[in-house]
């Protein structure tokens, strides 16, 4: 009788996991960004494209285009930025606290679900994760911050749609795969 129970449980779990749409359905690819100094795994259906905002054209950062990974519908955007601001690992805690407060001031109805620092592949990475409903659409955001060559490095995942749970899983897989290439 016990073996029948385990077989039924196994079949239920197997059918649930593999019949539902989930982040396991994503194939992943390794990408290198910021002059091949950072590598991470992203869902392979995302395509990279240059997107240089007009407000940056006259700035010093205009030389560094904002490279964005997105899907056909533009419902997800993943991008990394290497700023020209001096930054050290000891600054991550203050940066995360300040930006979490800023999120609440810009989006009062936002829910910050995570604000932490993780040590991944010998690198301290600050993480802020929040969601909100804007214009009756669900929005999910994941921001990372660390130092790269003594300068501020940021990464963003922005998603709008009904598949937040899967993009949350994909975002955390991306974070856990980040590696600085020395």
- What pLDDT does 48 receive? 87
Q: Is residue 120 part of a domain?
A: yes
Q: Is residue 1 part of a domain?
A: no
- What pLDDT does 136 receive? 86
Percentage of the chain lying above the pLDDT 70 cut: 77
> Rounded to whole angstroms, how far apart are CA atoms 59 and 85?
14
Q: Is residue 13 part of a domain?
A: no
Q: Is residue 104 part of a domain?
A: yes
**pTM for this one?**
0.77
Q: Per-residue pLDDT for 14 more than 60?
A: no
> Rounded to whole angstroms, how far apart are CA atoms 128 and 161?
19
Q: Which domain holds residue 39?
A: 23-180
Task: Report residue 110 as tokens.
Answer: 């936002």
Q: Is residue 18 part of a domain?
A: no
pLDDT in tens, 129-145: 999 988 888 999 999 99
Q: Is residue 94 part of a domain?
A: yes
Query: Per the structure, how many domains does the chain have?
Result: 1
Q: Is residue 160 part of a domain?
A: yes
Q: Which one, of 68, 66, 71, lies nearest residue 48 by Cα?
A: 68
Q: Per-residue pLDDT for 23 more than 50?
A: no
Average pLDDT score over the chain: 82
pLDDT in tens, 144-165: 999 999 999 999 999 999 999 9
Which CATH number belongs to the domain containing residue 163 in this structure?
3.40.1000.10
Q: Per-residue pLDDT for 50 more than 90?
A: no
Q: Is residue 17 part of a domain?
A: no
């Amino acid at each position: 009788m016990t073996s029948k129970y385990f077989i039924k449980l196994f079949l239920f779990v197997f059918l649930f996991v593999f019949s539902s749409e989930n982040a396991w359905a994503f194939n992943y690819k390794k990408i290198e960004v910021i002059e091949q100094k950072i590598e991470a795994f992203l869902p392979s259906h995302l395509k990279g494209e240059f997107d240089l905002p007009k407000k940056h054209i006259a700035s010093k950062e205009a030389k560094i285009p904002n490279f964005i990974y997105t899907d056909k519908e533009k419902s997800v955007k993943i991008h990394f930025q290497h700023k020209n601001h001096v930054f050290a690992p000891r600054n991550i805690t203050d940066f995360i606290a300040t930006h979490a407060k800023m999120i609440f001031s810009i989006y009062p109805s936002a829910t910050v679900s995570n604000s932490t620092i993780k040590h991944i592949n010998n690198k301290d990475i600050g993480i802020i994760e929040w969601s909100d409903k804007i214009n009756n659409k669900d929005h999910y955001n994941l921001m990372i911050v660390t130092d790269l060559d003594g300068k501020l490095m940021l990464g963003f995942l922005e998603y709008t749609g009904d598949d937040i749970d899967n993009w949350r899983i994909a975002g955390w897989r991306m974070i856990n795969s980040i590696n600085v290439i020395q």
